[in-house]
Structure 1
Amino acid sequence: MNSSRATCVRFVSRLLLVCALAPEMMAQANVQGRWRTLIQLMPINPVHVALLHNGKVLVVAGSGNCAPGQTVPSGQPACPTGAPYGPSNNSGAGLFDPATNSFTPFPLSWDMFCNGMVVLPDGRAFINGGTLRYDPFYGEKRSAVFDPSTNLFSDVQTMAHGRWYPTVTTLGDGRAMTFSGLTETGATSTTVEIYTPGAGWSQEFGAGWTPPLYPRMHLLPNGKVFYSGSGVTSRLFDPVAHTWSTVANTVLGTTRTYGTSVLLPLTPETNYRPRVMIMGGGNPATATTEIIDLGAPSPSWQSGPDMSGGRIEMDAVILPNGKVLALGGSSSDENESTATFTADLFAADGGSKSPASANSVPRVYHSVALLLPDATVWSAGGNYTRGSYQHQMEIYEPAYLFSGVDTSGNPIPAARPMISTAPAIINYGTGFSVGTPNASDISSVVLVRPGASTHAFDMDQRLVGLSFTAAGDVLNVNSPPNSNIAPPGYYMLFVLNSVGTPSIASFVQVTQPPDFSVSATPSSRTIVQGSSTTYSATVTALNGFNGNVSLSASGLPSGANASFNPSTISGSGSSTLTITTLSSTPAGSYPITITATSGTLAHATTVTLVVTGPSDFTLVVSPTSRTINRGSSTTYSVNIGAVGSFSGTVSLTVSGLPKKTTSNFTPASITSAGTSILKVSANPTAVSGTYTLTIRGTSGATSHSTTATLTIQ
């Protein structure tokens, strides 16, 4: 069968399926939800997608699984000829706007196909790795960020090695951890690298085991990262100690290739106890699911409800009500004839399942799905063979958007709660207010992190429940307690009414409040009474802090004073602390507290000041008189003693020797304190007599001397 005829047959089959199901789907929209197909077509292969805080979807295709120069079936867009990848090359990247169903294309200077992608705390998308070459595939070392305020891609620091099919995980401190992927030589990377925005990459941290490509990873409330698959053995990574530990083996006992994994909702009612659900995968695909309670003393995988059919290359999306929508995939990999159309809805705890309505477009390899701000689910892509992909996009409208059906069987839209006011920024561990005319009917307030989907896994999505009270038209909401529960960044804020219907989301940025830190170097100084010394105090702005910080010092010994230059720092900067003592300042060791204050914010650091008495040395010679015969020698003992904190080096010399005599010191100099032997030798022809020798010790500008007598017979 030729390609165009096969395409026609597939289209007719899907149309008949949709027509057959249409009355049932409409009648059950308030029970199972409904799908609709958009008129707008996706102009590039949507291999990687991320929802941005402006409500638009960043789509990254790169070369789009179409090797430059490859021949494609008739009627399909031509493969790119190479970089730059862009509209004229049927490749590149772009922004899809669900509000207007429009697409804005962007060119790419290198091939970002098969990258890992998350959104950084400041709202920029972070694209990690990509394709260096096809067949065999080699990974790119490069990474880039996409700034939605300028619609521009910018390269950032490169990694130690390339990564093709890496997984990126946002950590609690806002850094991005990458793991796995094929290197620039085609080997599977077994190292972790951690990217700090603006600063670059950490060193590589070896895992000691070989992960699958695109490993399924989740940040847990304890700050560790859980690896749930696709392999049999689950593991934990500690981003502080950079170590791995084994957790448990799956019930299935075989690899869940291109299955998916979801961190189930984190809620205050369960003290944010983490549970992870894995689904499908394998070829032929399994319909099984498993759940692990990572808050248990000895976590183990337990079987969950089966899906309605086996799914490989599937997607799973967390809805605002906490339920998980499992959709797409097929029972045989990259085979549209075995596509699974009926979606499944799993309860927020994963313990039960209900059917959702069926979509009409097969979603297999390279299909993606995202929750949108209007609480619908966007589904796109499906790359069943190289050079061909599904151009149609679909929207799933969950049952919570309908209240029933009218007498004609048409769905009735549900009354939705409304957010009238919401803060732009939310800080951890504090309260904030949400204005809504429906406050008395609100049953749930949640934050949903926008998704970043590729290859049957969303690297960014998570739902965090929030506790609240209602007062008039205001909800007083408690923010997430820390950044491991809700990593810093943008979230969709939803309120849900008593029947579970969500509002349209407001985007909020969750972050630490503006703050600063203070440090000082060196940690200790030693000075002599009556002298001065300096330290450098540094203020570092955190989370956008730009206030004025005043500096002060306390804990000074009597007779000492301190001054800062400058005395005030704006935002970030350094100041020189000068401490001056008097000759009467008591000797001793003093902890000096440097306090930095800006309004109600105050931070301190401590340095040590050691004050000693005058620094000097003594010089004593023994014996003070020696008598020798001509042609012989004698010795004197020269002792250097330290006074106060003296630690310098004393060089020794002797003068007053008669002619035809020689001398030497062993050693020639002494550090701090010690003894040197002065040897004097008289030539047989030396002149007899008594001579006064002057022995001198010198250390810098300090010099002391003493005398001794030498008699030659």
Structure 2
Amino acid sequence: MAAAISQAGWTVTVDSAQAGNPGTAAVDGNTGTFWHTQYNPTVAPLPHQIVVDTKATNLIGSLTYLPRQDGSFNGNVGQHIISLSPDGVNYVTVAIGTYLDDATMKTTTFTPTNARYIKFQALTEAGGRGQWTSMAELNVYTAAGPAPPPTSAGLGAWGPTVDFPLVPVSAAIEYSSGNLLVWSSYNPSTFGGSNLVQTITATYNPGAGTVTSALITNTAHDMFCEGLSMNANGQVIASGGNTDAATSYYDSPSNGWTKGATMNIPRAYQAQATTSTGNAFVIGASWAGGQGGKNGELYNPGANTWTLLPGCPVAPMLTADAQGVYRADNHAWLFGWKNAYVFQAGPSKAMNWYGTAGTGSQAAAGTRAADTDSMCGNAAMYDAVNGKILTVGGSPDYQQSTATANAHIITLGTPPAVPAVTTINPMYFQRAFANSVILPDGTVFITGGQVNANPFSDDTAQYTPELWNPANNQFTKMAPQAIPRTYHSVALLFPDGSVGSGGGGLCGTCATNHYDMEIWRPPYFFTGTGALAARPTITGVSAGTVRVGATFTVTTGAAVNSFSLIRLGSTTHTVNTDQRRIPLTPSGNTGTTYTLTVPNDPGIALPGAYYVFALAGATPSVAKTIIISL
């Protein structure tokens, strides 16, 4: 268990202090005193910092920052950088981000690090009220677990932690910038209530290492527990949720939300998937808007219209959940496929084809071998060219249910043919509420989850992620993460090939609210000795938009042997229907300029925004982004 390191004997150095509010007040054990930077007779400008010498080296895993407790918010820390050092000279950054502007204690957990010195830098004042910084208490804690394995062990590496001013329950990659957009509900730490006209969001810029926040009110939509997908233009479409019939869409270049059409059927907890025609298909979702009868409907983003699909009944995809249809129609695993069909791979053990042309159609597609209902498990299309889907984990019931470690490969053909299902060796760990992320080399990273599905609890959390390799159908344990990621957690791929794993909670003052995200760098970031690996580079892409079936060229800094397209992801409640990988082999090259061809079927090359990765062996470049259009 983590233990507080005694403040006795600590010394502090600050860049500025107001008379009567010295730096030592931040480590005196008295919440009634506080350090405050100078504001009289002159104001000391931001940034500010406090450096603490704890006088002994410890394996440090977290710290807490308590804002001033006298009723004033002046000086609350917003954007910040936390660094650790063994000697007071060589520092490593373990956390960045922005804190919520209130008086509650802030906890930052990070990769366990041996250190004696803590440097806490405040870059902004949380409310923009002035140039000052204040701090009632700074406490430091030993790590709950062991030090991480060396990067040379081939297990990847975690860090830094990114702090958010909200619990990130939903997340999407902004295609024009590569930034991460996250949101919670009408409130940064809880959901429900009657204030269903706003959503609190934040944006993480991985290049700058900054987090900014915004309150969205213009769409009058609380987007918690929404259906979520990205359309053919790379726009994020959020439908239903707490405001159960609303639709909002986010445009990356303009960085703004716009109100969309109202759904015909109010819903929350639905799955939503982009089709080969560029429309969005939704089905299920009895968490809000009444229970049962949540049949399919289709959103046309161009016309901004929702159309009922009476031929797409929800009944065939229901699980046998102990709580009935309230849970049984939640979080379908949907994949847009050929000829405007959508394949439903789970979580019910029964699979189905849904046709979205005309008034819709449905056809049974067999079962997932001997798998159980697998609510809050995962499915990922790691090879779209060959119609390959990996499914992992989940539990028979939504809650108070034991998860499985089951794993299967589904191979799609021409709909509505029943696909082939292969049972493969299971994961090492049972997981419900986990997330899976497809990597540029075709492997799939599975992170977080818990053995016993229990919303708003971190009991039985799985800290050790796994990496699945399609070459041998084997799972390999990776470096453990520091923070449990269970119910309401998210994970997505960044343009540099790293993965963000964050969130969990959104339950008010509960102990399982996680206002943060850890960054994982896969083994391909490192050499066998643990040094950063040399990576291929993309110096140019011939077009920003490429039609299905068309060719384009990619120029690299040196010779590479393969490429992959990965559709940008959006995720909430373990569901990411957007991500898919399309492996590409060049048809020819002139020097280091390679000719690539997009598959000529929009069911495979689903229209939308894609990363383009160049690979030298298994090591990917930093991605460029293109739009694949119809």
The structure-2 alpha-carbon separation of the partners of 1:495 and 1:346, relative to structure 1 and needing over 3 Å to count, comes to: same
Does structure 2 retain, via aligned residues, the 8 Å contact 1:448–1:492?
yes
Tell me which amino acid in the other structure corresponds to 1:205: P
Partners of 2:472 and 2:389 lie apart in 1 by 9
| Deviation (angstroms), 1:12 | 9.4
Q: Is 1:205 matched up with 2:310?
A: yes
Whole-angstrom distance in 2 between the partners of 1:377 and 1:350: 23
What stretches of structure 1 of length at least 5 have no aligned partner?
70-80, 87-91, 133-139, 267-271, 406-410, 513-713
Identity of aligned residues (%): 26
Once the two structures are superposed, residues 490-549 of structure 1 have per-residue CA deviations (whole angstroms, 9 ceiling, x without a partner) of 11100001x31100000111113xxxxxxxxxxxxxxxxxxxxxxxxxxxxxxxxxxxxx
CA distance in 1, matches of 2:545, 2:472: 31
Deviations 1:185-225 (A, max 9, x none): 42134311111113111234243342421111112245421
Task: Give the aligned partner of residue 155 of structure 2.
Answer: 32
Aligned residue number for residue 506 of structure 1? 624
1:87-126 matched pairs, under 5 angstroms: 92-108=200-216, 109-126=220-237
Letter in 2 for 1:219: G
State the match for 1:278 in structure 2: 391
Give the whole-Å Cα distance in 1 for the aligned partners of 2:524 and 2:599.
26
- Check the 8 A contact 1:37/1:392 in 2, yes or no: no
Per the alignment, do residues 413 and 221 of structure 1 end up closer, same or farther by CA in structure 2, a change over 3 Å counting?
A: farther
Decide which of 379, 384, 388 is 1:261's aligned counterpart. Answer: 379
Q: Distance in 2 between matches of 1:396 and 1:13?
A: 12
The amino acid of 2:626's aligned partner reads V
Provide the C-alpha distance between the structure 1 equivalents of 2:563 and 2:111, rounded to a whole number of angstroms: 39
How far is 1:421 from its partner? 0.7
Distance 1:298 1:209, change over 3 A: closer
**Aligned residue in 1 for 2:51:** none
Q: Does 1:483 align with 2:483?
A: no
Distance 1:13 1:61, change over 3 A: closer
1:566-606 deviation line (CA, Å, top 9, x unaligned): xxxxxxxxxxxxxxxxxxxxxxxxxxxxxxxxxxxxxxxxx
Shift of residue 255, structure 1, vs aligned partner: 1.5
CA contact (8 A) 1:218 1:226 kept: yes
- State the match for 2:576 in structure 1: 458
Which of 474, 489, 508 aligns to 1:352? It is: 474
CA contact (8 A) 2:157 2:520 kept: yes
Deviates more, 1:293-302 or 1:395-404: 293-302
2:370 and 2:508 mapped to 1: Cα distance?
Answer: 31
The amino acid across from 1:489 in the alignment is: G
**Structure 1 residues 168 and 208 mapped into 2: Cα distance closer, same or farther (>3 Å)?**
closer
TM-score for the superposition, normalised by structure 2: 0.70
1:274 positional shift: 0.9
Matches for 1:595-610 after TM superposition, within 5 Å: none
1:66 aligned residue:
190
219-228 vs 165-174, greater mean Cα deviation:
219-228
- Aligned partner of 2:522 in structure 1 is 398
Provide the rounded CA distance (Å) in 2 between the counterparts of 1:310 and 1:386. Answer: 28
Q: CA RMSD in A?
A: 2.7
CA distance in 2, matches of 1:236, 1:113: 28
The residue aligned with 1:237 is 354
Letter in 2 for 1:227: Q
Equivalent-residue separation in structure 1 for 2:150 and 2:286 (angstroms): 43
Change (3 A) 1:351 1:58: same
Q: After superposition, give the CA deviation of every residue in 1:32-87 in whole Å (9 maximum; x if it has no partner).
A: 2111132x411112111111111111212123572456xxxxxxxxxxx835546x
Matches of 2:143 and 2:63, distance apart in 1? 14
CA distance in structure 2 between the aligned counterparts of 1:252 and 1:366, rounded to whole angstroms: 28
Change in 2 beyond 3 A, CA 1:184/1:455? closer
Distance 1:68 1:236 in 2: 34
Q: Which of 46, 49, 65 pairs up with 2:168?
A: 46
Aligned length: 469
Shift of 1:301: 2.9
> TM-score normalised to the size of structure 1?
0.62
Q: CA deviation at 1:416?
A: 0.6
Counterpart of 1:362 in structure 2 is: 484
Structure with bigger RCO (C-alpha 8 Å, 6+ apart): 2
Q: Which runs of 5+ in 2 are unaligned?
A: 5-61, 65-106, 113-141, 319-328, 396-400
Quote how far apart the aligned CAs of 1:182 are. Answer: 2.3
Q: CA shift at 1:17, angstroms?
A: 5.9
| Amino acid in the other structure paired with 1:434 | V
Contact 2:447 / 2:501 at 8 angstroms: preserved in 1?
Answer: no
The one-letter amino acid of 1:254's match is: T
Q: Structure 1 residue 239: deviation in Å?
A: 1.7
Counterpart in the other structure of 2:50: none
Change (3 A) 1:384 1:338: farther
Offset of 1:94 from its aligned partner?
Answer: 2.4
Secondary structure, aligned partner of 1:337: coil
Residue 89 of structure 1 is matched in structure 2 by: none
- Pair 1:386–1:249, CA change in 2 (3 A): farther
- The Cα of 1:110 is off from its aligned counterpart by 2.5
Query: In the alignment, which residue of structure 2 is the partner of 1:151?
Result: 255
Whether the 8 Å contact between 1:443 and 1:500 is mirrored in structure 2 is: no
Give the distance between the partners of 2:185 and 2:604, measured in 1 at CA. 33
Post-superposition Cα deviations, 1:606-647, rounded to whole Å, max 9, x if no partner, equal xxxxxxxxxxxxxxxxxxxxxxxxxxxxxxxxxxxxxxxxxx
Q: Which residues of 2 match residues 75-224 of structure 1 at below 5 A?
A: 82=195, 85=198, 92-108=200-216, 109-132=220-243, 140-182=244-286, 185-199=289-303, 200-210=305-315, 211=318, 212-221=329-338, 223-224=340-341
Query: Could you tell me which residue of structure 2 aligns to residue 55 of structure 1?
Result: 178
CA contact (8 A) 1:376 1:396 kept: yes
SS of residue in 2 equivalent to 1:400: helix
2-side partners of 1:367 and 1:302: how far apart? 28
Q: 1:387 to 1:143 in 2, by over 3 A?
A: farther
| Deviation (angstroms), 1:384 | 7.5
Post-superposition offset of 1:240: 2.0
Which SS does the other structure have where 1:338 is aligned? coil
Structure with greater strand share of residues? 1
| 8 Å CA contact retained: 2:185, 2:191 | no
For residue 183 of structure 1, report the CA deviation from its aligned partner.
7.6
SS at match of 2:159: strand
Residues 537-556 of structure 1: pairs in structure 2 closer than 5 A: none
Letter in 2 for 1:265: D
Q: 1:143 to 1:12 in 2, by over 3 A?
A: closer
Contact 2:167 2:506 in 1 (8 A): no
Measured after TM superposition, the shift of residue 351 of structure 1 is 1.9
Q: Which amino acid aligns with 1:390?
A: H
Cα deviation, residue 258, structure 1: 0.8
Q: AA paired with 2:205?
A: D
Once structures 1 and 2 are overlaid, which stretch shifts more, 413-422 or 145-154? 145-154
- CA offsets per residue over residues 272-325 of structure 1, 9 Å max, x none? 221222111112111111122223975343222211211110000000000000
Q: How many Å separate the matches in 2 of 1:418 and 1:224?
A: 37
